[in-house]
Structures are given as C-alpha cells and as structure tokens.
Amino acid sequence: MSLRGVRKAYNTGTSIETEVLHGIDLDLMRGEFCAVMGPSGSGKSTLLNIIGLLDRPSSGSVAVCGEQTDKLDDRSLTRLRGHSIGFVFQYHHLITAFSALENVMMPMLGAAGFASDAMRERAAMLIDSVGLRDHQHNGAANLSGGQQQRVAIARALAMNPALLLADEPTGNLDTRSADDVFSLFRKFNVAHSTTVLFVTHNPTLAARCDKIIRVVDGQLMP
Amino acid sequence: MFSRWTPFEWIVALRFLREGRLQTIFIIMGVAIGVAVIVFMSALLAGLQTNFIRRVLSAQSHIQLLPPKELTRPLRGLPDNAPRPGVASVIEGAVVQPPLQRLKSIDQWQALAVQIREMPEVQVVSPMAGGSALVLRGSVSRSVSLNGIEPEQYFRIVDLRDKMVRGSTRLTGTDILIGIELASDLGLDAGDKLRISTAAVVSDPLTISGIFDLGNKGVNSRSVFMALHTAQGLLGLPGGVTSLDVTVHDVYSAERVAQRITATTGVVADSWIRTSAQFFAAISAQTTANRAIRFFVALSVAFGIASVLVVVVVQKSREIGILRAMGISQGQILRVFLLQGGLLALGGAVAGSLAGAAALALWQRYARNADGTVMFPLVLDPMLFAVALVVASLTGLLAAVAPALRAARLDPVVAIRG
C-alpha cells in the first residue's frame, strides 16, 4: 500500500475550506502490523478512509495491492475494497438483522451473489477462530461488546484481505477484551501475512505493533 | 440460515423487512386497505354498470337501421342546382313544409341483412316491420305500437321467453303477444282473441298466445308482437321491413360499428350510445369517477410505501455504510430497497385482494332487494385480482425508486460516522 502526497480538504472552493491531511507519504509492506496514533481530530480516521478507498483524496495518489486507484470508478473501487480490504470499526457495526455467522458470511455473499457451503464453512471457521463457536447462531444484537468486536474481526477477514484497517477497535472495550481483540489481529497478521493498520490511543497496545505512525495536525510525525 | 438459491438482495431485503416487523405489518395493512378499496369498488361498479346496461339493452337492440327520411328539396335560384363560383345559391321565397314521413321499407333489406351479418363485430340481425295500430276489443280500442318480428332472430335480442307471465311465445300467422298492462286494460288473457286495425286494414281475429312483462308500464300497455309476415300485411308493406335491429359483441363498440354500417351501406344506423346519450354519459361519468378514485388511492398507497422506505433508509444508513465498506455495490443496495418496496406492495396487494374478495362476498350475501333477491350479480373476475397484484407491485417498485437511490448514493464515510 502506498500513499504519495495525499491531501484531503472539505468544503473545497468555499470560504470555509478545511484541509485535514497535508501531503501524506506512506508505504506499508505486506505483513506489516502498524499502530496509528494521534490526538482526536488529527486526521487518523480520514487517513484510514482514504487508504480503505471509502473516501478519495483531494490530491495525491493511492495504490492498493499494486493498483493505482486515482482513475478507478466507483464500481471498480467497490470491487477492490471488497476483495482486498477488511474494516473493523470502533462501534463494530454488525448488521442486527443477521446472526453472528451470517454477518461473517455477508462480504462473501455480496461478492458471489448466492450463498454456498464453502462460504458457510469459511464463516464457521472464522467464527471458531475468534472463539465464538457457541454463539455463531446468536443474533448480532444479543452479543456483548467484546463478542461483537470479535465477530466484526471475523467478518473483516472473510474475503482474506491483504489489508486490514481497524479504527480504534478496542476503544470501547475493557482491558481484557481489548487485549484479546489485539491478540486476534496479531494472530491473523502472522498466520496470513495480512497487513494491519491499527488506530489506537492505547500506548501499551501500540508498543506491541511492529511500527507506530503518528498523525498530528494532518501530517505524519517521525 | 441463507438458502443457496436466494440472491443476496432478496436475503437482505427480507431480513430488513422482518427486523422492522411492526413497521412492515403496518405498511402492508395500509397497502392492503388501498388495494381492497380498489378491488371492491372496481367489482362493485363493474357489476353495477353491467347490470344497468343489461337492463337497458335487454329490451332494445344495440343498433337500429332505418330507412332514409323523406326530405323536401327546395328549388334553387339556378336551373341546374349546381353551385357556381361567385354566384350564390338562393332558395326561392316559397314556404317549405317538412314532408310527411310515410311508412316505408328499407330498400334491399335482405341483402343488407346478409352484408351486416358478415361483419365480425355483429352478433344478431333481426328484421322488424313496425308501425302504429289500434287494438280493438268490443267497443274499446287502444293505440299500440305494432312489432312484426322473426321470433328466432328477435328473441336473441330481446328474449321475450324470459318475460312471459302467461301463455307462450308461439307466433304463427294468427298469433299475437301483448303486454300485461294492455291485457289488464282490455280484460284479456292468453287464448283470447282481438283484432288489430291499421290505416290499411282491419285484421282477422288474432289469438293472444302469451302475455309479457318487460318491466316498463308504458311498454307493457303499448307494445304488441306478431309474426313478421302478419305485420307486413297489416301495415301495407308486403315483403318490407321498417327497421333492422342489430346487436354487437361489445356494446361499447356500437357507435363505431353503426358508423361503419352507414359508411359502407348508406343506410341510417343509430346506436344505443346515440339514442340513449344521457344514459351513456352517466355510465361514462361513473367510469371516470371510478378511475379517479382508484388513481388517488394508488397514489396514497405509493406515498405510504415511499415514506416508510425513506424512514427505513435513515434507520439503516449506518448498516448501508457498512455494507458498502465490505464491497457491496451501489446497484446491490439499490435493488435491496426496490425489492422492499415491491415486496411490501405485493404483500399488501395479496392481503388487499383477499379482503376485497371477502367484502364482495359479504356484499353479495347481505345487500338484497326488498323481495330478498340479489341486488345485482357481482362477477369476481380473476383478471381484476391479477391486475391489482401487478399494478400494486409496480407501484411499490416505483415508490421505492427515490428512497432506493438515496440509499445507494449514501456516502459510506458519512453513513458509518452516523
């Protein structure tokens, strides 16, 4: 993953134009496990959204899995995002109409159009790997915060993405649950060489990452 | 768990509807009430109109062909009556009186009847020799309208067999059918004899073979029926007829067919639509009112579905953002919400059709005339239900377009942030 001169401004062309990222250059190698730290409002989430192809930079270029994304249309971006990038958000955001297992199946179902036994088996394996085999048929709303975050991690890994983006995934968890969740990220990072970008305010967890990226006022600090 | 045969969009749409169970039930009920009203009103008004038309047209033909009227041809200012450029035609100063309309036959009516019978829209062609006459019974007389008919043809237009109160419809050369009022006025019954007097002759005694009731006091006291050749003799029209009565398969096409007959044969043809213009206008107004009511009910159903889906999109915006983040395309999101609109409408249409059918069955059972007979028969046309289902589903899909587009175009970043 590579960012070159990425800038992001809101309300472009108006008197209240605000630039939140000021020319970011960043390279991440396959299998790297990076913590992203910085104060609130420094541009961490915006950076993550741009890397995750949810948002486009105002200028600069983004390459994911070797593919330049500047010229891609929405459909191609969506496909690339679906196949190469997994997201875990602070508020886990499971789809409450589905069970834990079904939530994990969703990315695969969306990509293939129809359910299959292979999908079901992979979702069950992922649910098992996050320690929720006994809860796989529970409705998403009936799980605890920590359990929901584990399901969200399993879902993010459903398509076996090259890049896993986690936006403060432990922010709402107690210390023990946060530690468990971090260990899961590390486990998948080692097992599948998944590149992980892990936004956190927790210096203890950040210290356990391979690399720490600090974002201050929309710029990367050394 | 997901079925392997169910597409992604159907799975998500059905789950979203199931999750918002109460909301789903309420909007389905709303659609159902709208569809039930449309089904009930359509069937009721169709039954009512059919009944009106049947009652009116069961006692008359759809088209009547008449001989051309006698016209006065005034002398013109120019000897050859031909218009010339720059020279006005001037009617002479003489007073022009309208001519007497003598009873006369349609020219070449047999050939004309054959020609009209061959038209695909035409059902029956029946010749009639009709005119004024007096019924004589002792010292009492009554003026009547004399109708000479060919029973086997005429009874296919006006089925007197259903309207006989006494006697039979037998019409030999010496038989006559009279109305119940006339029979009452003259103290006559089936089997009695009477004479008919016209301007030309007085008949030999005729036997009353039957007494009918056409449901109209005036007609029952003024109309008599006899065999065509008997009437021709009495009216001084040997071999001639004064009108050809025609029925068509589609009563609403009568005017069009009449115009075609006039255009191809040159004979004056009057359709029931023209001769009963006020009645037809009332029927048309009723149809228009029915259409307007159906349109506005459908519109309110559409807005109901649209408003519910707009709320669902707002409620689900974060989940839509998550779906977009995990690689679900705008097209898939669009289809999820279109399907919800279609399914809500289809569910409502099925429930509404059943409710409408039940209401119609109750109407049929409890809405009775004073004598206990059915007020008018209602026909539960399967096509009405099929059309209601299809139109409601399409309305639901259309109503869902705006909310679905809004869902598909949601910015995932904004949606996830909430």
Set out the domains of chain A in order of their start, with CATH numbers.
30-58+74-221 (3.40.50.300)
Residue B10's pLDDT is 96
Q: What is the pLDDT of residue A207?
A: 94
Alpha-carbon distances of B45 from A115, B205, B405, B411, rounded to whole Å: 49, 49, 38, 50
Q: Is B305:B400 a contact under the CB 8 Å cutoff?
A: yes
Angle between helices A145-156 and A117-129 (to 10 degrees): 130
| A166 to A82, A156, A181, A197: CA distances (angstroms) | 15, 9, 11, 6
Q: Which residue from B1, B18, B328 is facing A97, i.e. has the nearest CB?
A: B18
The CA distance from A7 to the nearest CA of chain B, in Å, is 17
Which pLDDT belongs to residue A65?
Answer: 87
Q: Do the chains contact at B329 and A75, CB–CB below 8 Å?
A: yes
pLDDT tens sequence across B177-218: 999 999 999 999 999 999 999 887 888 899 999 999 988 899
Provide, rounded to the nearest whole percent, the portion of chain B with pLDDT above 70. 93
Give the residue with greater pLDDT, B47 vs B78: B47
Which residues of chain A make contact with B6, given a CB cutoff of 8 A?
114-115
Q: Is B326 close to A96, i.e. CB distance below 8 A?
A: no
Q: CA nearest B193: which of B213, B178, B181?
A: B178
Distance from CA of A76 to the nearest CA of B (A): 9
Q: Which H/E stretch holds residue A24?
A: strand A18-27
pLDDT of B256 over the 90 cut: yes
Answer whether A89 touches B (CB < 8 Å).
Answer: yes
Quick one: average pLDDT of B242-246? 94
Give the gyration radius of chain A's Cα atoms: 17
Interface check for B414 against chain A (CB to CB < 8 A): the answer is no
Mean pLDDT of B169-183: 93
Least trusted range by pLDDT, from A24-28, A71-75, B13-17, B46-50:
B46-50
Residue in A179, A159, A158, A157 with CA at minimum distance from that of residue A169:
A179
Q: Does A82 touch chain B (CB under 8 A)?
A: yes
CB contact under 8 A, A109 and B11: yes
- The token pair at A93 is 């955001």
Residue A119's SS3 state is helix
* HEC readout, B39-80: HHHHHHHHHHHHHHHHHHHCCCCCEEEECCCCCCCCCECCCC
Domain coordinates of chain B in residue numbers?
8-56+280-417, 103-266
Residue B322 forms contact with A (CB below 8 Å): yes
> Lowest mean pLDDT: which of A6-20, A156-170, B365-379?
B365-379
Q: Rounded to 5 degrees, what angle do the CA atoms B230, B235, B236 make?
A: 100
What is the DSSP-derived secondary structure letter of residue A92? -
Rounded to whole angstroms, the Cα distance separating B263 from B269 reads 10
pLDDT band at B276 (very low <50, low <70, confident <90, very high): confident
Q: Is there a contact between B322 and A95 if contact means CB atoms under 8 Å apart?
A: yes
Count of Cβ atoms closer than 10 Å to residue A104 Cβ: 31
Residues 6+ apart with CB under 8 A from B49: B283, B286, B287
Give the H/E segment covering residue B298.
helix B277-315
Name the pLDDT band for B392 (thresholds 50, 70, 90).
confident
Query: How confident is the model over B219-244, as a mean pLDDT?
Result: 92
Q: Which of A11, A114, A127 to mutate to test the interface with B (most CBs of B within 10 A)?
A: A114
Q: Say whether pTM exceeds 0.90.
A: no
> Does the CB of B240 have a partner CB in chain A at under 8 Å?
no
Structure tokens at B289: 């009112």
